[in-house]
Chains A and B, each alone.
Chain A
Amino acid sequence: MTAAAAASHPVRDMVMDAAGSGTPLRIAGRSHWMDAGRPVAASRIASLAAHSGVVDYVPGDLTITVRSGTTLREIEQITGAEGQWLPLDPHGSADGTIGATIATGSFGPLAHGFGRARDLMLGVEFVTGDGKIVRGGGRVVKNVAGFDLVRLATGSWGTLGVISEATLRLYSLPARPATLSLSVPDGANALAQRITSILSTPATPFAVEMVDAELAGRIGLPRRPQILIELGGNHAAVEAQRHALSQLGGAHDVGPEVWKQFRDIEDVPPSANGSRPPVVLRISALPTRIAELWMSTHNAIGHMDGAMMHASAGLGIVRCILPAGTPLETIQPLTSAAAGATIVFERLPSHMWPTLSPSVIADRLSQGMSRSFDPHNILNAGIMGPVH
């Protein structure tokens, strides 16, 4: 081992301390969304909140390397000063950390145009359950050296290693952003046709997000279902796209602040942890099924006070946010309505997990990964399912 590698590393020291005493850790960023994922068997919270800050930022390269406890808001401010941004907008405000975003593979409407965390990641450093400091990828925008530890770490919920640092690909801020709202017609067929029309224009939107009436009202828009479209680029490109979409009828401009409000709906300040969590699930299918999924999901939850849904039309994802205390008997019909689709639960009361989603790492390869990278089973144990 080199002298540099042997030097103290706060995240490794934390993991080694836990490994030495056999103490299971609950890994946290700024302790938002601590109820996301399955219940964790842990006796200590390993907070990465203080492990923050920029390690390297070269605006000319459009890359940034940050410690994992850095918030998305800090990244937004630092890159924004150079006319750049990280187009990653997971639900729950910009106060969450980049480490948590990467570890959970979270994403928001901008995934339509820019992909998910896995697509924006260039490099990662994480500390395995046996205290090895591991780096994958690099700080350049193209790289196929070695096996892909970057993708392996992304979305692994900290169970393969505690993410300590990440390098991300940035984009220039669009010269002229614009947000349009288009109406949602009644009926699955009309809706399907409208979505097809939007996606078939020459426009290349950053986001195409459908919101239901409840959610629209909560973000300051007229309380009716609508399709929000974010555009960006140079002046000519935005105007041409706006014109193409306006031809479809019922389009009007709304302020870009709706996107901030959209994220903030699910902001969960750390102090709120311990309150009863909502139920959040994603239903995913082929994009051509999105109108049908939207209608069936709406039929299943439309009567529920406080329930909200939105959908990324191009990705084929409907996401439901159901009020705290939603009983199992309400969720089960919803999952039936989504028959044939993939359902990912983001948040559930702990007692519902075994019934609705026992494990997402039950296969041999995933179990092997978990055992190999966290041999003492101390990192967020159980958050993706049990390791046998």
Chain B
Amino acid sequence: MTDNTALAEQLEQIVGERFLLRRKSDLLVYNSDGLPGYRRMPRLAVFPGNRDEAIRVVRTLAEHGAPYVPRGAGTGLSGGALADDIVLLGMHRLKRVISIDRENLRAVVEPGVVNLTLNRTVAPLGLIYAPDPSSEAACTIGGNVAENAGGPHCLKYGVTLNHILSITAILPDGEIVTLGNPEGETAGYDLRGAFIGSEGCFGVALDVTARLTRKPAAIRTMLADFTSVDDAARVASAIIASGIVPAALEFMDAPTIQVVESSVYAAGYPADAAAVLLIEVDGIAEGVDADRDTVREICLSGGARTVKVAQNDAERTRLWQGRKKAFGAMGRMAPHLVVQDAVIPRTRLAEVLAKIREIAEANRVVVCNVFHAGDGNLHPNIPYNADNPEEAGRVHRAMGEIMRACVAAGGSITGEHGVGLDKIGYIELIFSPDSLGAMCRLREVFDPQRRSNPGKVVPIHSCQEWRATPARRASEHVPGAGVAS
């Protein structure tokens, strides 16, 4: 990076003194994201307040050749929004809902709009923005786009990729481009698709046109409880195989149920169950009633003790609260938490869950499984004390073994959290050098100097050319190594 002081002064002139942080004490709060094990200290943090400021900030960074890390609300769970001695570019102040087009089911928003805010804005119109990450009360649409965020209801409605029509982005060199088309039709390469999920490595969004969805006419939410994890896993597969596409199909195991029920988020889950499935079907009322009955039958014939159906919105909200706040509830078990995001073929759920149990026992760790069973998107969580090196070592080993078991089952290393720093050491398990090289080529078209979120997603050694960046060489990161820091 060029002269730090000159850069800071120029940035400060753009955003004002309050929104340019350079003191270590001010920057500390930005040294981690939602996966607190990784700590990286930014050199500067800059928070533009509007579109014009954001453009001027990025162009100033380009003039200085300064690398930077875009950041939304910092709720990411992969260590992706961390700036290691470089500039952190916070976009959360760009939070205008620019327009809502009820008839055409479109919303144009700035990147800092919080996911739930958009949903609350469109709810009175009978509309929803379908992607619903569990952090929806805090995470931003810009962050959703960067990570291609998912959520429980993505089983039926699709992930962020399926709901973004266009993006106005500012590229790392300061050029402003429109990717996709707000009207829906595009010719040429799907650059919008390439940008979504690029984890901030291709630039930052200035505004996003999102597709809205009509709120379903009817929703039925069920909780099925099981005395056997295997039965619950098999039933999850059976529901999908039956042809019903549930709006959501979530799995929680006994340790998760117990910690949720002993917290303020208690949802009325049966505390003695080995596992519960939270299942939602939606659509036209007559159809969902038939689906509800089919699901109930599959659950009961597959070993469920009971299937409770929410009778009203309050009951539905309560059932969901336990699921959405499960990660938070785990804070009661230990001071730190590590969560994984592997995806496996749905038919191998029971087998992989058994393998996870084996790994947990062998490493003497407690795994809380709470995940999107319908997608096969696992979230094994291990609460632990990161200040105990011996325990941390066992946790890291278990996490690595679990990831390898998921890959061996034909899976992927991340379903919705992104690669970031956390999984960069695993990406070579699933992609060949040539495939990773192609990803580098793609990245370099957007960001030839690799200044936007350097050192993330694809290991630098996978790219043919070495170009030094101030960020630490990605290949030096050992999976899970940051967790204990």
Task: Evaluate contact between B191 and A5: CB separation under 8 angstroms.
Answer: no
Binds B, one of A150-158, A215-223, A254-262, A300-308: A150-158
Whether A142 contacts B347 in the complex (CB less than 8 A), given A60-B237, A236-B289, A240-B285, comes out as no
Task: Evaluate contact between A138 and B430: CB separation under 8 angstroms.
Answer: yes
Whole-angstrom distance from the CB of A318 to the nearest CB of chain B?
11
Task: Tell me whether A36 is interfacial, beta carbon within 8 Å.
Answer: no
Task: Tell me whether B458 is interfacial, beta carbon within 8 Å.
Answer: yes
A5 CA to B345 CA, complexed, in Å:
24
Whole-angstrom distance from the CB of B447 to the nearest CB of chain A?
11
Task: Evaluate contact between A145 and B184: CB separation under 8 angstroms.
Answer: no
A171 CA to B245 CA, complexed, in Å:
8
Task: Evaluate contact between A146 and B184: CB separation under 8 angstroms.
Answer: no
Task: Tell me whether A59 is interfacial, beta carbon within 8 Å.
Answer: yes
A380 CA to B442 CA, complexed, in Å:
19
Task: Evaluate contact between B185 and A282: CB separation under 8 angstroms.
Answer: yes
Task: Evaluate contact between A236 and B286: CB separation under 8 angstroms.
Answer: yes
Task: Evaluate contact between A373 and B438: CB separation under 8 angstroms.
Answer: yes
Task: Tell me whether A16 is interfacial, beta carbon within 8 Å.
Answer: no
17 A/B residue pairs, CB under 8 Å, sorted by A: A135-B432, A141-B343, A142-B375, A143-B343, A146-B458, A147-B198, A148-B161, A151-B161, A233-B287, A236-B290, A316-B104, A316-B184, A316-B185, A360-B188, A365-B191, A369-B445, A372-B442
Task: Evaluate contact between A60 and B347: CB separation under 8 angstroms.
Answer: yes
Task: Tell me whether B42 is interfacial, beta carbon within 8 Å.
Answer: no
Whole-angstrom distance from the CB of A176 to the nearest CB of chain B?
10
Task: Evaluate contact between A149 and B343: CB separation under 8 angstroms.
Answer: no
For the complex, count residues of A whose C-beta is within 8 A of B.
80
For the complex, count residues of B whose C-beta is within 8 A of A.
89
Among A58, A234, A244, A384, max chain B CB count under 10 A is at A234
Residues from chain A with Cβ under 8 Å of B377 in the complex? 142
Q: Which of A330-388 contact B (CB under 8 A)?
A: 341-342, 344, 360-361, 363-366, 368-369, 372-373, 384
Residues from chain B with Cβ under 8 Å of A342 in the complex? 181, 183, 185-187
A337 CA to B443 CA, complexed, in Å:
39
Task: Evaluate contact between A147 and B194: CB separation under 8 angstroms.
Answer: yes
A202 CA to B217 CA, complexed, in Å:
6
3 A-B pairs closest in CB distance: A237-B287, A151-B193, A172-B243
Q: Which of A1-31 contact B (CB under 8 A)?
A: 1-2, 5
Residues from chain A with Cβ under 8 Å of B287 in the complex? 233-234, 236-238, 240-241
Task: Tell me whether A248 is interfacial, beta carbon within 8 Å.
Answer: no
Among B158, B177, B186, B189, max chain A CB count under 10 A is at B189
Whether A366 contacts B284 in the complex (CB less than 8 A), given A60-B241, A146-B457, A147-B457, comes out as no
Residues from chain A with Cβ under 8 Å of B344 in the complex? 140
Q: Which of A111-149 contact B (CB under 8 A)?
A: 115, 118-119, 128, 132-136, 138-149
A2 CA to B435 CA, complexed, in Å:
13
Task: Tell me whether B25 is interfacial, beta carbon within 8 Å.
Answer: no
A331 CA to B188 CA, complexed, in Å:
22
Task: Evaluate contact between B184 and A284: CB separation under 8 angstroms.
Answer: yes
Q: Which of B422-440 contact A (CB under 8 A)?
A: 423, 427, 430-439
Residue of A nearest to B434 (CB): A132
Task: Evaluate contact between B438 and A128: CB separation under 8 angstroms.
Answer: yes
Binds A, one of B84-92, B308-316, B413-421: B413-421
Task: Evaluate contact between A152 and B161: CB separation under 8 angstroms.
Answer: no
A362 CA to B433 CA, complexed, in Å:
30
Give chain B's interface residues, CB within 8 Å of chain A.
101, 103-106, 147-148, 150, 154, 158-159, 161-162, 175, 177, 181, 183-194, 196-198, 201, 217, 237, 240-245, 283-291, 294, 343-347, 372, 375-377, 410-419, 423, 427, 430-439, 441-446, 457-458
Task: Tell me whether A188 is interfacial, beta carbon within 8 Å.
Answer: no
A173 CA to B245 CA, complexed, in Å:
11
Residues from chain A with Cβ under 8 Å of B433 in the complex? 1
Whether A149 contacts B442 in the complex (CB less than 8 A), given A141-B375, A342-B181, comes out as yes
A317 CA to B187 CA, complexed, in Å:
13
Whole-angstrom distance from the CB of B314 to the nearest CB of chain A?
23
Residues from chain A with Cβ under 8 Å of B417 in the complex? 144
Whether A140 contacts B243 in the complex (CB less than 8 A), given A233-B287, A366-B189, comes out as no
Residue of A nearest to B439 (CB): A147
Task: Evaluate contact between A284 and B343: CB separation under 8 angstroms.
Answer: no
Task: Evaluate contact between A366 and B183: CB separation under 8 angstroms.
Answer: no
Task: Evaluate contact between A142 and B372: CB separation under 8 angstroms.
Answer: yes
Task: Evaluate contact between A145 and B427: CB separation under 8 angstroms.
Answer: yes
Residues from chain A with Cβ under 8 Å of B343 in the complex? 138, 140-143
Task: Tell me whether A246 is interfacial, beta carbon within 8 Å.
Answer: no
Residue of A nearest to B437 (CB): A132
A11 CA to B75 CA, complexed, in Å:
43
Task: Tell me whether A239 is interfacial, beta carbon within 8 Å.
Answer: yes
Residue of A nearest to B154 (CB): A142
Residues from chain B with Cβ under 8 Å of A366 in the complex? 188-189, 191
Binds B, one of A45-53, A263-271, A285-293: A285-293
Whole-angstrom distance from the CB of A179 to the nearest CB of chain B?
17
A59 CA to B237 CA, complexed, in Å:
11
Contact pick for B416, options A142, A147, A154, A384, CB 8 Å: A142
Whether A146 contacts B419 in the complex (CB less than 8 A), given A152-B194, A156-B189, A360-B187, comes out as yes
Residues from chain B with Cβ under 8 Å of A235 in the complex? 290
What sequence of 0s and 1s flags, for each residue 95-123 of chain A, a beta carbon within 8 Å of any chain B beta carbon? Answer: 00000000001000000000100110000
Task: Evaluate contact between B438 and A204: CB separation under 8 angstroms.
Answer: no
A154 CA to B201 CA, complexed, in Å:
21
A138 CA to B432 CA, complexed, in Å:
12
Task: Evaluate contact between A62 and B240: CB separation under 8 angstroms.
Answer: yes
Task: Tell me whether A175 is interfacial, beta carbon within 8 Å.
Answer: yes
Residues from chain A with Cβ under 8 Å of B241 in the complex? 59-60, 62
Residue of B nearest to A375 (CB): B441
Task: Evaluate contact between A141 and B104: CB separation under 8 angstroms.
Answer: no
Residues from chain A with Cβ under 8 Å of B188 in the complex? 155, 360-361, 363, 366, 384
Whether A155 contacts B189 in the complex (CB less than 8 A), given A142-B150, A240-B285, comes out as yes
Task: Evaluate contact between A149 and B439: CB separation under 8 angstroms.
Answer: yes
Residue of A nearest to B415 (CB): A142
A342 CA to B192 CA, complexed, in Å:
17
Task: Evaluate contact between B284 and A287: CB separation under 8 angstroms.
Answer: no
A344 CA to B417 CA, complexed, in Å:
35
